[in-house]
Amino acid sequence: MAPETEIAAWRPQATGIAEVFHARFTDHAYPRHTHADWTLLIVDEGAIGYRLEGKDHGSTTDLVTLLPPGVPHDGHPATRTGFVKRVLYLEPDQLHGVGAGVDRPTLRDPALRDRIHRLHGVLAAPERLEAESRWALIRERVQAHLDRAEATPKPVRDRPLAARLRRLLDDRVRTGLGLAEAAGLLQASPEHLVRSFAAEYGLPPHQYLTGRRVDLARHLLLAGHRPADVAAEVGFHDQSHLTRHFRRVLGVTPGRYVRLP
């Protein structure tokens, strides 16, 4: 039998996300309460029923739920086995349109749900750039829902900005940087940075930075450096972090990469 309650909560490195909360509940029911932050929620198992502004709603595995700050709501399991959920609590200034959030807390958007799922997969990692890049595009899509606008923005081309970001990433291969920092340095919105870079170079900034680090690691390994030393030298958190990305890009571990024929 599954345990009744499992909880994990932490504050991630990504700017704009106040808290990550993962939970499994079998029979816990939330009383009416409010949050100071926006609540962006996906359900992985079971279903949740809740009441918001006098109307009944439900969260299931194929939906995204967005609850605005300051609006009372409750919550309870809608199946006998309870539910498993993953939640992002977002800083209040990340979105606007509380009224629209009250009217339409349920977002039927499979692509958005998949993006949120993928974001949760990197929020515990030490690298901020990927998490912030993924969050920037999620925030843009969620805001489009609130604005009743087109959910998929048109491609953006800004070659000078993309080139400036590429130079910045090249200069910071070892130390890295977050998307919010890059946006401040280049005086552009995070969303515009990610989209213009991807339109120009065919991949998002975090993937470009990882590729540059792996490329630098290859050269150091061929020069005789140990994998443990290479990880720190090229900007990875530790050797396991290097190994994971090195194997994903090149198909082998750093230790097996340098071998004489």
pLDDT digits (tens, 9 = 90+) for 206-222: 989 999 998 898 888 88
Closest CA to 234 of 154, 160, 174: 174
Do β-strands 83-90 and 73-77 pair in parallel, antiparallel, or remain unpaired?
A: unpaired
Residue 151 has pLDDT above 60, yes or no: no
In this prediction, residues 77-101 reach a mean pLDDT of 94
- Look at residue 6 and give its three-state secondary structure: strand
Nearby residues of 228 by Cβ (< 8 Å), 6 or more positions away: 239
User: Phi-psi region for residue 155, left (φ > 0), alpha (ψ -120 to 50) or beta?
Assistant: beta
> Residue 154 — very low, low, confident or very high, per pLDDT cuts 50/70/90?
low
% of the chain with per-residue pLDDT over 90: 58
Residue 224 has a pLDDT of 87
The total of other beta-carbon atoms located within 10 Å of residue 154's CB is 7
Where do runs of H (alpha helix) occur along 1-47?
none
User: Which residue's entry shows tokens 């932490």?
Assistant: 10
Cβ atoms of 4 and 27 closer than 8 Å: yes
Strand ordering across the sheet containing 17-25: 5-10, 17-25, 83-90, 38-46, 64-67, 106-107
Tens digit of each residue's pLDDT (9 = 90 or more) over 178-204: 999 999 999 999 999 999 998 888 889
